[in-house]
């Protein structure tokens, strides 16, 4: 089905209009003019994050349904807001679309994106569209999406990576490794059941821990936080570096998802759970926002060994071994 850019923009605008009411708290003027106009909420600071979704990097057409691609495109950025305790308010979505995807596939993508936006309270306030260029020799054009997310948090209260202290306990929400395990299953059999189900598909339909992040921030429970997008070993190293510390993780305390191996939990990534630290005397609930919370380790003073990784893994046998970052890193790939 042939779709013009004007028809596409009108269709997106109609979708947004139908779910607009809850976004009036920040979006004064959305799609339809040269710029959007936002009204920052009084007493709150804006939080801004950007995220790219690239075909053959973040998804494959033969593995991922279009609705899953749209869902994941938005949720990846929402998870960044969750890690800071921020409330999502508005989004900007720019699309580079291969001509052959401009019909049914794109409608599926927008279905997934808009369903997630409605579920998590996000208004689409603008963006851009373009036809993706085809490679000069034989290669097909590839889809790309760029999302800018605007959130807000009470002034001076947003959670950050750099607030941990030596002695703080390390926690994670939910389970680890489920996304990596499902991705491995998709690689073996892309034809498995891939219908939209947030409980059964941690890779295809992940959930951002927005409610948990907001409660951690509102109750001043966490000293530092980050979302688990690149893998526990990598993201915890980021938190250690920002806080000037190291960490010890107890392998027996890691909450492995069903079907996940230890390597999935440590390095798999895309779980979009929250990793956070808290003072030893802080009472952390067993669940936050309906999501289980698990203590998995402790922050320590930085090692004097210059090249030692900032994270140690405490084995079931009582040994303490260095845990180098082994998650995803662009330009290097998985370690």
Can you tell me the mean pLDDT for 2-18?
66
CB count, 10 Å around CB of 304? 6
What is the DSSP pairing of strand 87-97 with strand 123-131? parallel
Q: What span, in angstroms and rounded, lies between the C-alpha atoms of 106 and 113?
A: 10
pLDDT mean across residues, the chain: 89
Burial group, residue 290, by CB count within 10 angstroms (0-12, 13-18, 19+): exposed
Query: Residue range 310-333: average pLDDT?
Result: 83
Token pair, residue 108, equals 């599926």
Above 50 in pLDDT, residue 234?
Answer: yes
pTM value? 0.90
Q: Regarding predicted confidence, which is higher, 335 or 253?
A: 253
pLDDT at 329: 65
Q: Which two tokens stand for residue 92?
A: 């900007």
Dump pLDDT digits (tens) for 20-57.
544 557 888 878 788 888 888 889 999 999 999 999 99
pLDDT at 189 over 80: yes
Residues 6+ apart with CB under 8 A from 324: 233, 309, 335
* Cβ atoms 147, 77 nearer than 8 A: yes
Which pLDDT does position 16 carry in this prediction? 65
Residues 96, 189, 266, 307, CA torsion sign: negative
Q: Return the percentage of the chain with pLDDT > 70, whole number.
A: 88
Q: Identify which has the larger pLDDT, 103 or 300.
A: 300
CA distance 287 to 75: 21
pLDDT number for residue 334: 43
As given in the structure block, the two tokens for residue 195 are 């219908």
The band of 1, judged by pLDDT with boundaries at 50, 70 and 90, is very low
Q: What is the pLDDT of residues 150-169, one digit of tens each?
A: 999 999 999 999 999 999 99
Question: CB–CB of 160/217 below 8 Å?
Answer: no
Question: Which pLDDT score is estimated for 330?
Answer: 56
pLDDT of 78-103, one tens digit each?
999 999 999 999 999 999 999 999 98
What percent of the chain is modeled with pLDDT above 90? Answer: 72
Interaxial angle between packed helices 5-18 and 104-120, expressed in degrees from 0 to 180 and rounded to the nearest 10: 30
Q: Which of 184 and 197 is assigned the larger pLDDT?
A: 184
8 A C-beta contact, residue 162 and residue 299: no
Whether the pLDDT of residue 271 is over 80: the answer is yes
Helix, strand, or coil (residue 20) = coil
């Amino acid at each position: 089905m042939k779709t013009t850019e004007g028809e596409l923009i009108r269709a997106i605008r109609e979708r947004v209009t139908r779910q607009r009411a809850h976004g009036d708290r920040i979006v004064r003027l959305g799609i339809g003019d040269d710029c959007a106009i936002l009204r920052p909420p009084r007493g709150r600071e804006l939080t801004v994050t950007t995220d790219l979704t690239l075909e053959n990097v973040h998804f494959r057409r033969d593995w991922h349904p279009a609705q899953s691609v749209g869902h994941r495109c938005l949720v990846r950025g929402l998870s960044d807001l969750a890690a800071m305790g921020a409330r999502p308010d508005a989004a900007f979505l720019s699309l580079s679309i291969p001509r052959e995807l401009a019909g049914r596939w794109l409608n599926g993508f927008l279905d997934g994106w808009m369903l997630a936006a409605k579920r998590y309270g996000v208004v689409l306030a603008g963006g851009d569209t373009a036809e993706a260029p085809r490679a000069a020799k034989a290669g097909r054009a590839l889809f790309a999406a760029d999302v800018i997310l605007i959130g807000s948090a009470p002034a001076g209260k947003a959670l950050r990576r750099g607030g941990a202290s030596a002695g703080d306990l390390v926690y994670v929400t939910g389970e680890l490794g489920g996304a990596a395990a499902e991705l491995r299953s998709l690689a073996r059999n892309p034809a498995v059941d891939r219908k939209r189900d947030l409980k059964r598909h941690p890779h295809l339909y992940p959930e951002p821990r927005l409610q948990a992040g907001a409660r951690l921030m509102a109750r001043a429970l966490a000293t530092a936080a980050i979302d688990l997008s690149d893998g526990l070993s990598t993201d915890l190293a980021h938190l250690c570096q920002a806080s000037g510390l190291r960490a010890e993780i107890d392998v027996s305390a890691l909450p492995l998802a069903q079907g996940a191996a230890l390597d999935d939990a440590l390095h798999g990534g895309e779980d979009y759970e929250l990793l956070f630290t808290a003072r030893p005397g802080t009472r952390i609930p067993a669940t936050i926002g309906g999501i289980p919370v698990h203590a998995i380790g402790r922050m320590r003073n930085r090692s004097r060994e210059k090249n030692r990784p900032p994270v140690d893994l405490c084995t079931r046998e009582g040994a303490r071994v260095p845990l180098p970052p082994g998650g995803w890193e662009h330009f290097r790939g998985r370690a």
